[in-house]
Structure 1
Amino acid sequence: MARHTSSALVPSAWVLLAISTLVALTLGVGLAIFHYQQQSKVILNTGETLFRHISQQLETELLRLYQPPAQALNLLALSDLSSTISLEQRLNYLPQLAQVLVDNPQLNSLYQGWPTGDYLMLRPLRTPSLRTRFNAPSDAVWMVWHIQMDPEASKAVHLFYDQQLQVLEQRELFNDGYDPRQRLWYSQARGSGAQIITTPYIFFSTSEFGTTLARPTTSGSVLGADLTLGQLSHTLAKLQLTAHSQLLLYDPEGTVIAYHDVARILNVAQGTALRLKGFNELGSTLLARLAEDGYNQERLTSMVLEGQRWTLSQSRIDLAGLPETYLAILVPERELLAEAYRIRRYSVWITLIASLVLLPLAWLFITRLTRRRV
């Protein structure tokens, strides 16, 4: 009778062992899923914080780019440069103009246009390519371009200066018809009566891209400064969250101001004018798809694009005195949640290993318990 009872209890031991193993695995997998879900929520919430942090950093960068030159133009507008009528008088103000350019390396050039059509520009020759372009002396650091309008014949000259603003060479130029009064920066500033910022474009003389700050003076002349925006793309590249995330700044018309891959911003197609690309011209079907929804979007959402789910943030960077700008951040969720995936995978493996380790102990415990009952 005892032997029959013992043999009957053996299957019960296997049943108990199977049930305990199943419970352990279920609890382990359940905990792994729970941890994954909680970790995913934490990471997604952290992602929102990161998006806001990136936006704040770019706001700081935009202020750093725009505010100092804008303040410098306001101060220059108070000088007597606007009341000068000859090249000799205007050259006395070169030290002031040069100091503004030294203090603001993001400026490509600084200039002033008069109601008579006269024009004065000071340009730093910071690169060998600029010296080559203007055939400047090897030790030239500054170049002045001056146009003196005359009813009979206007005069244009280039003057090259060294670091100490000592003149190295003066060249008479053929006036190609440049008239500051016909330029957009001049007419917009005169029309608004206040400081303006043009939409981004390619600077003809250097092929850099940027925008022009301009403001009228009390005498009717207009001060202008060309501000390059290339540094913004380098800032975006440093802020890239994952290997395949995409960050870009663009204006309300969809023109890209900055992109983490700066080489893709310029449209250099043969036979076309050099210009900045639009939101949907960067060679990305992902961005082209987003452009279909319009450019002036402000949202934080996720969507399936190009066969995978992306976390998308679009926000407006609206700073007083600066042009309206939008920031788009796109991150593949599989990359954003890579840490959560890793934790889930490790949790499952830990559960399986723990179950395998505990299985012999459970078997030993159950068999001993069975023998005692027998």
Structure 2
Amino acid sequence: MRTSLGALLAIGLAGLQFIAVMVVVFSSHITSERALLDHARGLLSDVGANITEHSKSFLGPARGAAELSARLAQSDVITSENPELLERLLFQQLQVAPQFAGLFLGSEDGDFIYVMRSEGPAPFRSKIITVDNGTRMTDLIWRDDDFTVVEQRQDPDDPYDPRTRPWYEKARAELTTIWTAPYIFFSSQQPGITLASPVLDGGGGIRGVVGVDIEISEISDFLARQRIGKTGRALIIHENGDVIAHPNKEFLKSEDADGTLRFASIGDFEDPIARAAFLQLTAGSTEPVTREAVSQFSYEGESYVSVVKPVVSEKLPWTIAAYAPENDFTEVIKQNRMMNTWIALAVAIVTGVFGLALANYIHKPVRAFAVRSALISQGEIPPSEPLPATYRELERANATLMQQIAARRETEIEYGRTFALSSRGMAQIEAGSGRLLRVNEKFSEITGYSSDELGQMTFQDLVIRPDPSLSQLYGYVGVEDGEFRGEVPCRRKDGETIWTSVNAIMVHNQEGAPLHLVLTMDDITQYRLKEEQISELNKDLTSLSRHNTMGQLAAGLAHELNQPLTAIAQNADTALLTLKQLSLSDPELQEILTEIEEQSLRAGEIIRALRGFIRKDEGVRTMFDLKELVEQTERLVIAEAHAADVTIETDLPPLPPVEAIRIQVAQVLVNLLRNAIESLASNTEGERRVRVAATVAGDKVQVCVEDNGPGVDPNINLFTAFESTKADGMGIGLSICQTIVQTNGGELWHEPAPDGGARFCFDLVAGGIDASDHMASLDGPEQKRSGQSGGSGRRQQNT
């Protein structure tokens, strides 16, 4: 039996019609249910916002009252020395703010004034504690609404000290207005909170603390008045997990074993639904709530919707939470669902009949085509009869779409080739996270990672010091042009640090939303190294020029000073000769003239040493007396040694001449002597002593500069450039000295001194005399005392 196409089409259309109607009905139901649930969430959010604002407005006057009282006390408008005036001010503020349970002022002397509400024998009670020379007095005063005393008595056994209370200690420590954690007031057995503000003395200290006690039961009353569906509830949870406000105030209090009342924790709260919904807010179990969170949960098979608001403020770490059953909002729509289903079925049947008629109408061209085919086969009509134009428009649309797809694929292939074959490193980076979406071969070559490895990384993983502008571009936060250009240090896979030139641009879609970043990268490490080398060379040239200038200035100064010193010596000698010829026997005058002659000759020796030190030898090795050079360099540093109270000793036997560049060896000696003097400058105990000794060792002359200072830090690489033990040192002196000695055929080394100091030694090649014969011909070490001609013994100069 063959099936009729028209029957299939009619039944299919009718079925589709029925399904469409049912889909509309159920989608309408789901949409309505979702809309109602969204409305419920919005209602819960609005309730939370209202509670937050109500809490702020309820507690706001307390801050103003406390800070006003603190400013009045700070400016001496009211003081604890005038308790009656202060009591009246607190009394008036208590009358104005019905939510205040009490106001008080405690001072650093232990004085305390507290005005609170009372249940009898008068509506207000004042507690005034005064401490005078160690004598403590406590007065209790009951007043009516007109500030008239109703009853008054003293309480000598009252031990209350405001300075030991948590609110006082916290305000004194933070020096700002503070809120305490909520607690159950001892007197009224009602939940409350205390706000305290310090009274400063103008010098950074504190004179006292003003505070306000607030009963927060009214917040629970406000929660009870909120209507959230039929059975929804709202509550306030402190950051420690205590429930401090709830429509049922009896749930708030919990009694400890010792009879003390406290707030009930959300973990043992008597509202089981609230406990199931908000147990995760217990202190320490989760992160603080920073933004509104709406969620759904189930309790005993029933679904609920809940909302958790962010904390009220940093000072009031309270979380507003609310819940309501979903049935409170969707019960009606669920009842209507069955009725709508039957209605939809009836509508489907009716529309199905019309669908059959429509199917017949739609099937008519197909039937006509079948009749036409039959007629052609019977030869009743020619084949040239035009075909029905049923699918021509669809074919045109399909052809157009295929053209667009082909053009797009061609563009993508072209871009892909450009990306892959680019001579610069290129990458696509995900906006917001910085994840590398795609990289080309050059990018992998620069970073050392494969494309698969880079696909698991972010660009931040490659950067050593992220540029704030580039990091800002990742998140697309505050970026107007969406571009970055700069030099960024990166770390390759092998650990090598490279410098890269990075250009990045944000690509957006038609709506302006960021899609990804296109980044290009070039390795500019060698370029940076060349720049640094050029910069260092410029510094060295500048330093060399400065040193040459100073050398010329010193040479000119030495030449000019030598002439007047010679004249002074000659005049002093002439004066002594004249005294002898005149037969004048004034010993004191002769001693003065002799000393003038000696000191002028000594100054001349220093000048000659300076000229010898700075004279140009053009880098030519010569034979010179090392002992004489040591004496000259000693004269150059004698002033520095004198300023540092350092004694310089020398042990210089007759030495063979050495072959080296004289000025360079002098530079090494001066540097070692100055280092020794500077190391002894921080030595505050004992004698400060530097010893210079020279010996002949084989075919070399060895010179050692030794001090009794603190020694050398073992963590310092002494002969490495830019390593220094001085706070202002450049760390190149010893490195240069080592190079100089090695250039002159010797070695420079360091070894610990026997008495704990530092000892630096170097050797030079002796020239012209066999070392063994020379040592055999010596009767013993010849020593010379600094500053004197002739004499023997150990050389010592106190400076």
Task: Normalising by structure 1, report the TM-score.
Answer: 0.78
C-alpha spacing 1:22/1:263, structure 2 compared with 1 (3 Å): farther
Measure how far apart 1:245 and its partner are: 2.3
* Aligned equivalent of 1:8: none
- The correspondence for 2:220, drawn from 233, 256, 274, is 233
For 2:32, give the aligned amino acid. Answer: Q
Who wins on radius of gyration, i.e. which is larger?
Answer: 2
In structure 2, what is the equivalent of residue 255 of structure 1?
A: 242
Q: Please tell me the residue identity of whatever aligns with 1:247.
A: A
Show CA shifts across 1:134-177 (max 9, x none): xx2xxx23211111124554111111222211222211113321
Q: Is the 8 A contact 1:280 1:287 kept in 2?
A: no
Partner SS for 1:110: strand
- Cα distance in 1, alignment partners of residues 337 and 297 from structure 2: 23
Separation in structure 1 between the aligned mates of residue 177 and residue 134 of structure 2, nearest angstrom:
33
1:266 to 239, 242, 253: 253
User: Given the superposition, is the C-alpha separation of residues 286 and 160 from structure 1 closer, same or farther in structure 2, using an over 3 Å criterion?
Assistant: closer
For the pair 1:311 / 2:269, whether they are aligned, the reply is no
Q: What amino acid sits opposite 2:217 in the alignment?
A: G
Q: Cα distance 1:353–1:273, how it changes in 2: closer, same or farther (>3 A)?
A: farther
Task: Report the Cα offset of residue 353 of structure 1.
Answer: 7.8
SS at match of 2:101: strand
Structure 1's 115 and 343: CA in aligned 2 closer, same or farther, altered over 3 A?
A: same
Q: Give the drift of 1:283.
A: 2.2
Instruction: For 1:41-120, list aligned pairs within 5 A.
Output: 41-79=34-72, 80=76, 83-85=79-81, 89-120=82-113
| 1:169-180 aligned within 5 A | 169-180=151-162
Cα drift, residue 26 of structure 1: 5.8
Distance 1:161 1:115 in 2: 27
1:95 CA drift (Å): 3.3
Taking the aligned partners of 2:294 and 2:128, their CA distance within structure 1 comes to 51
* Unmatched 5+ stretches in structure 1: 1-17, 363-374
Cα deviation, 1:51-86, whole Å, max 9, x if unaligned, reads: 22112211211221121121121111122366332x
SS in 2 for 1:249: strand
2:199 paired residue number: 217
Kept in 2, the 8 Å contact 1:246–1:260? The answer is yes
Which residue type is aligned with residue 77 of structure 1? A
Counterparts of 1:216 and 1:275, CA distance in 2:
27
**Count of aligned residue pairs for this structure pair:** 335
Instruction: Indicate if the aligned counterparts of 2:103 and 2:212 stay in contact, CA closer than 8 A.
Output: yes
Contact 1:55 1:317 survives alignment (8 Å): no
2:60 match: secondary structure:
helix
- Cα distance in structure 1, aligned partners of 2:99 and 2:343: 55
RCO higher in structure (CA 8 A, sep ≥6): 1
Shift of 1:187: 0.6
**What's the CA shift for 1:271?**
4.2
Distance in 1 of aligned mates of 2:95 and 2:114: 15
Match of 2:332 among 339, 355, 369: 339
- Matched AA of 1:210: G
| Deviation string, structure 1 residues 300-352 (Cα, Å, up to 9, x no partner) | 222333322222222213346x4121122222222232233244244235457
State whether residues 110 and 131 of structure 2, in contact with CA within 8 Å, keep that contact through their aligned partners in structure 1.
Answer: yes
Of 173-182 and 200-209, more deviation after overlay is shown by 173-182
Taking the aligned partners of 1:182 and 1:55, their CA distance within structure 2 comes to: 37
Taking the aligned partners of 2:272 and 2:66, their CA distance within structure 1 comes to 42
Match of 1:221, SS state, is strand
Aligned mates of 2:226, 2:63 — CA distance in 1: 26
Single out whichever of 148-157 and 344-353 deviates more from structure 2: 344-353
Q: Secondary structure of the residue that 1:75 maps to in structure 2?
A: helix
Give the letter for the 1:278 counterpart: S
The two structures have a TM-score, normalised by structure 2, of: 0.39
Paired letter, 1:101: L
Instruction: Give the alignment of 1:1-374 within 5 angstroms.
Output: 29-79=22-72, 80=76, 83-85=79-81, 89-125=82-118, 130-131=119-120, 136=121, 140-219=122-201, 220-268=207-255, 271-289=258-276, 290-292=278-280, 294=285, 296-297=288-289, 299-319=293-313, 322-348=315-341, 350-351=343-344
In structure 2, distance between residues paired with 1:108 and 1:23: 71
Decide whether aligned partners of structure 1 residues 352 and 261 sit closer, same or farther in structure 2, where only a CA change above 3 A counts. Answer: farther
Bigger mean CA deviation after superposition, 49-58 or 344-353? 344-353
345 and 98 in structure 1: CA distance in 2 versus 1, 3 angstrom threshold: farther
Give unpaired runs (5+ residues) of structure 2: 1-10, 202-206, 354-799
Paired with 1:346 and 1:81, the residues of 2 have a C-alpha distance of 76
- Residue 181 of structure 1 aligns to a residue whose secondary structure is helix
- Return the alpha-carbon distance in structure 2 between the equivalents of residues 335 and 84 of structure 1: 57
| Between 326-335 and 108-117, the greater mean CA deviation after superposition | 326-335
Amino acid aligned to 1:335: D
Moved more, 21-30 or 104-113: 21-30
Q: CA deviation at 1:273?
A: 1.1
CA distance in 2, matches of 1:312, 1:335: 13
Q: CA–CA distance in 2 between the matches of 1:109 and 1:39?
A: 51
Flag the 1:40–1:73 CA change in 2: closer, same or farther, 3 A.
Answer: same
**Counterpart-to-counterpart distance in 1, 2:144 and 2:160:** 26
Report if the CA contact (8 A) 2:44-2:323 is conserved.
no
- Closer, same or farther: CA 329–285 of 1 in aligned 2, 3 Å: same
CA contact (8 A) 1:302 1:309 kept: yes
CA contact (8 A) 2:104 2:112 kept: yes
Partner of 1:368: none
Give the match's secondary structure for 1:120: strand
Percent of residue pairs bearing the same amino acid type: 21
Contact 2:235 2:322 in 1 (8 A): yes
